[in-house]
Amino acid sequence: MAEHYSELSIPHRLLLGPGPSLVHPRVLRAIASPLLGHLDPAFLQLMNEIQEMLRHVFRTQNPFTIAVSGTGSAGMEAALVNLTEPGDPVIVGINGIFGARMATIVERCGGRLIRAEAPWGHIIEPETIAEALTKTGPVKAVALVHAETSTGVHQPLERIGALCREHGALFIVDAVTSLGGLPVEVDRWGIDACYSGTQKCLSCPPGLAPLTLSDRALAVIRGRKAPCQSWYLDLSLIADYWAEGKRAYHHTAPISMLYALREALRLVEEEGLEARFARHRTNGDALMAGLGALGLTPFAQEGHRLPSLHCVLLPTPVEEGSVRTELLQRFGIEIGGGLGALQGKAWRIGLMGESSTKADVLSLLSALEDIFEHRGLIRRTGVAVEAASRLYSSPTLQRG
């Protein structure tokens, strides 16, 4: 049977979609390192190092800071199923696909869902959360998406963390598309549970979900009336596996993926968080300048747009799916289509981690110009690249 299959040959792609992002060669080399046992002393030391570096990226001192064995969605489920028991009132901010997904998990846990909604493309205003906290009586938790991947919205969190503290509610945050690309201030913003994914701004292959819990959140988990409905994601059990000095067996960790995450986090530390945030902002601004010259408009609310994920509305003449197909087939560039109500009307373009460079921005804009010009959508090529280049060369940007 094996003779019917050729040797694996993966085509080269410039990954500029909503994830995964490109991976540095050092991360690929790390993932190919020899395996160790998941309780080997050398591997346990590697786990300690990962925890230290994750605390740095999350900007927290939380002892419980780990990488859940599973993708970002496993991080979402782990946070919610551990902190929600039947009957618990939980406020969930819903302004896109991933807020709606959090709401679904709360309901499946038997929690009493309280919806705090905003139109797609808009943030959940702090006043909306304040009103929900005031009207509903005691609330177990408030859950929000920091970077809504379906819309490109950048949700402010600091005021909401303070509101949660005032009302005795836990604060749960989805940072899947933000961690490592823009500030996530777990301790300063009063976040009790924050999870992410490795395949976005951290530029590690998908398969792990960084997660940090405050002491308040851990106390709630350890004080549950009934065991967590998920054995695999039961954080009271996983805590003992990641706790230095305990290392109680729970499951076989994805050894090679943890090698990769360690190296990806080393790259983040070498660049420095502030420099990394500035790089994402600069490239995001340049991309939007170029796309604007092609007639595309940002979907997210002004003043609350992500630098790592851009959702743009297309002019009516643009055939969304066929342009993306041509972009992939002719130029090897991947971008994402719209989700839900935005399907066929928008693109989602990721500039995350290793996929956020000046060369990537200009390559995409040049390719789009070529396609648009051949389809009669623009009069000449060069307009988008010129717009982006002007931004890159602006004195203000160079000073920043």
**Confidence class of residue 247 from pLDDT cuts 50, 70 and 90?**
confident
In order of their start, the domains of the chain are 33-269 (3.40.640.10), 272-399 (3.90.1150.10)
Please give the DSSP secondary-structure letter assigned to residue 340.
Answer: G
Structure confidence at residue 2 as a pLDDT band (50, 70, 90): low
Task: Please list, in sequence order, all residues whose beta carbon lies within 8 angstroms of the beta carbon of residue 318, skipping any fewer than 6 positions away.
Answer: 372, 377
Task: Say yes or no to pLDDT of 1 above 70.
Answer: no
- pLDDT tens for each residue of 47-73: 999 999 999 999 999 999 999 999 999
pLDDT at 44 over 70: yes
Per-residue model confidence as pLDDT tens digits over 187-201: 999 999 999 999 999
Residue length of the chain: 400
Q: Residue 164's pLDDT is what?
A: 97
Residues in Cβ contact with 197 at an 8 Å cutoff, skipping those fewer than 6 apart: 19, 71, 72, 73, 75, 176, 177, 206, 208, 209, 210
Q: The whole model's pTM is what?
A: 0.96
Confidence of residue 400 (pLDDT cuts 50, 70, 90): very low
For residue 222, pLDDT beyond 80: yes
Q: Average pLDDT for residues 11-28, to the nearest whole number? A: 97
Q: Write the pLDDT tens digit of every residue in 323-364.
A: 999 999 999 999 999 999 999 999 999 999 999 999 999 999
What's the rounded mean pLDDT across residues 369-387?
93
H, E, C per residue of 317-334: CCCHHHHHHHHHHHHCEE
| Average model confidence (pLDDT) across the chain | 95
pLDDT band at residue 396, thresholds of 50, 70 and 90?
A: low
pLDDT at position 397: 57
**At 147, is the pLDDT very low, low, confident or very high (cuts 50, 70, 90)?**
very high
What is the residue type of 193? A
